[in-house]
Structure 1
Amino acid sequence: MAGPQRPLHEMRDYIRTFSLDTLPHGNQGYQRVLLQLVGHIGSGKSALINSCKCVLDDGEFIMYAKATDAPGAVTSSRTAYELTPTISIVDNRPVIIMMKMEMAEVYAQLGNFRPLNGPVNKNWTFYDYMTTLEETELNPNYTDLIVPVLVDDTRFHFGSEQEEIQTFLRECKLMTGFIPIVVITNKGSRNTSEVRNKFIAMGAEQVIPVEIYTTENRERTRGKDTDILIFLYNALQDVAYYMSQQRDLRRERLERKKFLLKYMHDVEIEKKVQEALRKAEINRKEKR
Structure 2
Amino acid sequence: MQTIPEMTNFIKNFSLADCNNKGFSRVLLQLFGYLGHGKSSFINTCKYVLDDTEYKTYADVKSNDGGNTTERITYELTDTLTLVDNRGCSVMNEYETGEIFAQLGNLLPLNQQVSWSKGIGLVDRIVEAERYVQSSDFIYPIFVYSVKKGLSADEALEVKELLTTARNLTGICPLVLLTHKTNPNLRAVRARFEDMDVERIFALENFTPEDHLKTRGKHEDVLKLYIEVIRDIEFRMERMSSPEDEREKRKQFVLKFVYERELRKTQQEVERKLREEARRKEEAEARRKEAEKAAEGGCTIQ
Contact 1:166-1:203 within 8 A present in 2 as well: no
Given the superposition, is the C-alpha separation of residues 248 and 62 from structure 1 closer, same or farther in structure 2, using an over 3 Å criterion? same
Distance apart, 1:122 and its partner CA = 1.8
Q: 1:156 maps to what in 2?
A: 149
Equivalent-residue separation in structure 2 for 1:119 and 1:140 (angstroms): 14
What TM-score comes out, normalization by structure 2 length?
Answer: 0.86
Contact 1:169-1:203 within 8 A present in 2 as well: no
Equivalent-residue separation in structure 1 for 2:98 and 2:208 (angstroms): 31
Distance apart, 1:279 and its partner CA = 3.5
SS at the partner of 1:264? Answer: helix
> Which range moves more in the overlay, 226-235 or 76-85?
226-235
What TM-score comes out, normalization by structure 1 length?
Answer: 0.90
Distance apart, 1:240 and its partner CA = 1.1
Q: 2:3 maps to what in 1?
A: 7
Q: 1:130 maps to what in 2?
A: 123
Given the superposition, is the C-alpha separation of residues 158 and 38 from structure 1 closer, same or farther in structure 2, using an over 3 Å criterion? farther
Q: State the Cα deviation string for residues 68-91 of structure 1 (Å, max 9, x = none).
A: 2253x6111110011111111111
Q: 2:70 maps to what in 1?
A: 76
Aligned residues: CA RMSD: 1.9
**AA matched with 1:276:** V
Contact 1:98-1:161 within 8 A present in 2 as well: no
Aligned residues: 280
Q: 1:264 maps to what in 2?
A: 258
Q: State the Cα deviation string for residues 34-58 of structure 1 (Å, max 9, x = none).
A: 1111122221111000000000011
- Deviating beyond 6 angstroms after TM superposition, the runs of 4 or more aligned structure 1 residues are none
Q: 1:273 maps to what in 2?
A: 267
Contact 1:66-1:75 within 8 A present in 2 as well: yes
Gaps of 5+ in 1: none
In structure 1, which of residues 109, 112, 116 is the aligned counterpart of residue 106 of structure 2? Answer: 112
SS at the partner of 2:135? Answer: coil
Equivalent-residue separation in structure 2 for 1:58 and 1:199 (angstroms): 32
Q: Are positions 1:169 and 2:175 aligned together? A: no
Distance apart, 1:189 and its partner CA = 1.3
SS at the partner of 1:120? Answer: coil
Contact 1:81-1:88 within 8 A present in 2 as well: yes
Given the superposition, is the C-alpha separation of residues 119 and 140 from structure 1 closer, same or farther in structure 2, using an over 3 Å criterion? closer
Q: 1:101 maps to what in 2?
A: 95
Equivalent-residue separation in structure 2 for 1:111 and 1:144 (angstroms): 10
Distance apart, 1:101 and its partner CA = 1.1
Equivalent-residue separation in structure 1 for 2:150 and 2:16 (angstroms): 34
Gaps of 5+ in 2: 284-302
Q: Are positions 1:145 and 2:138 aligned together? A: yes
Q: State the Cα deviation string for residues 217-259 of structure 1 (Å, max 9, x = none).
A: 1111111111111122211111111113353323222222221
Equivalent-residue separation in structure 2 for 1:267 and 1:16 (angstroms): 42
Q: Which has the higher contact order (CA 8 A, sep 6+)?
A: 1
Contact 1:105-1:124 within 8 A present in 2 as well: no
Query: Which has the higher Rg, Structure 1 or Structure 2?
Result: 2
Distance apart, 1:131 and its partner CA = 1.8
> Which range moves more in the overlay, 245-254 or 209-218?
245-254
**AA matched with 2:10:** Y
Contact 1:184-1:209 within 8 A present in 2 as well: yes
Equivalent-residue separation in structure 2 for 1:61 and 1:105 (angstroms): 32
Q: Are positions 1:21 and 2:17 aligned together? A: yes
Q: 2:24 maps to what in 1?
A: 30
User: Which is richer in helix?
Assistant: 2
> Could you tell me the percent identity over the aligned residues?
35
Equivalent-residue separation in structure 2 for 1:158 and 1:50 (angstroms): 25
SS at the partner of 2:32? Answer: strand
**AA matched with 2:170:** T
**AA matched with 1:131:** D
Given the superposition, is the C-alpha separation of residues 131 and 42 from structure 1 closer, same or farther in structure 2, using an over 3 Å criterion? closer
